Structures are given as structure tokens and as C-alpha cells.
Amino acid sequence: MDAWTGHDVPTLPGAAVAPRLFDSARRAPAPSAPDGVATMYVCGITPYDATHLGHAATMITFDLINRLWRDAGLEVRYVQNVTDIDDPLLERAERDGEDWIVLGMRETALFREDMEALRIIPPQHYVGAVESIPAIAGHVRELLAAGAAYTLDDGTGDVYFAVSAAPSFGYESNLPREQMTVLSAERGGDPERAGKRDPLDPLLWRGARDGEPAWDGGELGPGRPGWHIECATIALGLLGDTIDVQGGGNDLIYPHHECSAAHAEVLTGAAPFAGHYVHAGMIGLAGEKMSKSKGNLVFVSRLRADGVDPMAVRLGLLSGHYRADREWTDDVLKAGQERLARWRAAAAAPIGPSGEGLLAAVRESLGNDLDTPAVLCWASSSDPGSRWSVVLLGIKL
């Protein structure tokens, strides 16, 4: 499917290096993207509701990585998915008496508008689960043929991945098994399901059910894809056997990124699937993670309709560190609006010699696991170098 429209990103003077990024697997920061090309796969939306500030914060985080890699002279290959078929989409469509395809298309269109307004550089490939079904089904058949997957014998046609087939399973999240079991139940898995070899085995292919959409799976029979194999397949098809960054919010550390990595590694034999597993913190409202299922959402489109400048939203979200779970409050927005106004007022001044020194300092901070709070402190209204810094931050004055 089509992504959104991009914009020119100016080249800045001087030299930069690729950022050090915290990797969930290593549990430490490490240099990213060692050679000329940098590859990134970011887990995008399940389009059953509008883009909220949590999605925006996560997309801004990976946009920053994209900008820093470009600033370091790397060619960036960036892929993002849309989970345009999954249980939550069908459930919401059913609740509202709406066609799931129409719902998904409408919310995806709104997401594109929001991304453009927030000045997120578009991915080269923006890919839906539905359009990837033939490739996904092919991978599921390969996993079955390799003995890394099995079909439940309860007549449903459901196919599961055997986590025992992935020798390093658990390396990405570093979680104890009990916690994996709890998270799996909370995040779309089914550890209690009878007939599985291991409670942690994730679904690869859901056999067709009455009233649910289904696609031809060849010898799998009709059905629809599981969630983790969707992302593994899209990334492998467009970026190769291994990637530099696998990204998303920290709600995806387990089971999603653990299982996608396990699928990819068993399919290709190359490990680790991602050089860095990078996770953005959860944006909350009044003490709770902002989520479509909880309904405690602040929508980007609502703020835009209310006349809020998307650059103030971007600055507000950048004022906290990307890895920190943090709250969105009226004060965060107000501070973003005030900072934007100060920067705009200062932008009229010419860039003097001090500008290059500031740019080097900003690069160093952002290169240190995206330390945006430090940068926002320095890029003060009075320093003309802030005009270069804002390019790196993706702010348009």
C-alpha cells in the first residue's frame, strides 16, 4: 500500500556518526548500523482506531533514528507494516456494525495524514498484512516442512510454531518463563489452549472460522495469518535475512518481537535477526498506558482539528526520553507550544560560528541513545545553532 508524502531533509555541515542505541537483547547501548546501509523495520498500527499520542511517540522515535542515520551518511532502508487483518480489527468492526476493510482503510488514511503532519519521513515500503498473505502462508508451510511448526489435531486447522525449534528463544526479551506466560496471555497469545506442545507456542495460521475472512493457504487450508509471522515475513521479504533495527513500543518486547525473531531465525538460519531491538516507552494518560482497548486516548487528529501545531506535539513528545514510560499532560503540550514559539522567534537570527559547535554537541547527545531531553535544554531560543538542531529533531520552524 502507499505510504504518506515525504519532505526534503536538508544536509547539515560537518561529520556525524551513527547513534548508539539501547538494545533490549543486550540490555545495553551499542553502536548501530555498522556499514553504509542501515535497515529498519518498525511495527506499525493495527488500524481499528485513530492514531493516538502513543503511536505518535513511537513513530517519532524511529524517525529520529532515520534522521541520525542519514545525517551520518548512511543509506536508510525502512519498512513499516499495517496489521490490516487481526482479531481487534474484526472485533471493533463487529461492535460498530462496520465492514472491517472500510474501518481499516479509513484509520490507515488518517494515520498517514497524522504522520505527514508530524513530519515523519515515510518508509520506502508501507506494507499491509493482507497483501502479504501469500508470502506468509509460504513461510508457514516452510516451517511445517522443517518440523518447526505443527497443526493442532482439533479440526480447526490452526498451525502453531514450536518455540523448541528456536535454540535461542528468550534472548530478545530476557524474561523468565512465568512472565512470558503472563504476557503472552495479555498480548494476543493463548498459553491455556489445549493441544499445544508448549504453552508459549504462538499461532502461525488460524484456520477459517464461520463469519471470519479467510484466504487460500494452499496445503494449510483456508485461514488467516498469525501476528508475529506477519512482521517476520514482511521484514525478510524487503530487507533481507537480518536487519539493523527491529522497532516498536516496549509492549512488543514479548511476545511479538521475541516470536518474530524466532520465526525469522528458524526460516533463514541467520541470527540474530536484528542487530538492535529498540523499544519506545509507553505514553500514558492519567496513570494508564494509552491504548485503544482502554479507550483513554488523545488523538493526533483531534489535536490537529483543535488547531494545535503538530510541531508542538512533536516537541512535547521529544521532551521526555524515548525509552521512558511517560505521561502526556496539558503541561507537556504547553511546554512544547512555548518552546516552538521561542524557537520560531529566534530563527530569524543568522547562524554564527557558535552554531557548528552546538550542532556537534547536539549530535553527540542524540547519538547517545537519543538523549532528546538534553538537546532541548541546549537548543535555547538565543542560540542560532538551534536552527540546525531542529533539522535533526525533525521540527519545521
Applying CB under 6 A, the span of 20-28, 42-50, 144-152, 356-364 interacting with ligand 5CA comes to 42-50
Helix or strand (DSSP H, E) at 388: helix 386-393
Per the CB < 8 A criterion, the answer to whether 41 and 247 are in contact is: yes
Q: How far is the CB of 105 from ligand 5CA (least distance, A)?
A: 15
Region of 240 please: left (phi>0), alpha (psi -120 to 50) or beta. Answer: left
Q: Is 253 in the site for ligand 5CA (CB under 6 A)?
A: no
**C-beta closer to ligand 5CA: residue 182 or 346:** 182
Question: Scanning residues 60 to 119, which ones bind ligand 5CA (CB under 6 A)?
Answer: 81, 83
Q: Is 203 in the site for ligand 5CA (CB under 6 A)?
A: no
**C-beta closer to ligand 5CA: residue 162 or 283:** 283
Q: Is 231 in the site for Zn ion (CB under 5 A)?
A: yes
Q: Is 129 in the site for Zn ion (CB under 5 A)?
A: no
Query: Among 118, 204, 217, which residue's Cα sits nearest to residue 158?
Result: 204
124 binds, options Zn ion, ligand 5CA, none, Cβ within 5 to 8 A by partner type: none
Query: Among 103, 90, 4, which residue's Cα sits nearest to residue 49?
Result: 103
**C-beta closer to Zn ion: residue 229 or 231:** 231
Q: How far apart are CA 287 and CA 394, in angstroms?
A: 28
Q: How far apart are CA 312 and CA 290, in angstroms?
A: 19
Q: Is 280 in the site for ligand 5CA (CB under 6 A)?
A: yes
- One of 3, 21, 33, 43 touching Zn ion (CB under 5 A): 43
Q: Is 248 in the site for ligand 5CA (CB under 6 A)?
A: yes
Q: Is 333 in the site for ligand 5CA (CB under 6 A)?
A: no
**C-beta closer to Zn ion: residue 249 or 284:** 249
Q: How far apart are CA 83 and CA 92, in angstroms?
A: 14
Q: Is 297 in the site for ligand 5CA (CB under 6 A)?
A: no
- One of 23, 114, 251, 369 touching ligand 5CA (CB under 6 A): 251
Applying CB under 5 A, the span of 42-50, 119-127, 188-196, 386-394 interacting with Zn ion comes to 42-50
Q: Which residue is nearest to ligand 5CA (CB)?
A: 54
Residues 189-228 vs Zn ion: string with x where CB under 5 A? ----------------------------------------
**C-beta closer to ligand 5CA: residue 150 or 322:** 322
Which amino acid does the sequence have at 161?
A: F
Q: Is 132 in the site for ligand 5CA (CB under 6 A)?
A: no
Which amino acid does the sequence have at 119?
A: R
**C-beta closer to Zn ion: residue 43 or 65:** 43
Burial of 71 (0-12, 13-18, 19+ CB in 10 A): buried
Query: What is the pairing mode between strands 243-249 and 37-42?
Result: parallel
Per the CB < 8 A criterion, the answer to whether 283 and 258 are in contact is: no
CB within 8 Å of 385: residues ≥ 6 apart: 351, 354, 355, 356, 357, 358, 359, 362, 379
Query: Among 99, 83, 188, 77, which residue's Cα sits nearest to residue 131?
Result: 83
Q: How far apart are CA 320 and CA 284, in angstroms?
A: 12
Residues interacting with ligand 5CA, by CB under 6 A? 43-46, 54-55, 57-58, 81, 83, 231, 248-249, 251-252, 280, 282-283, 289-291
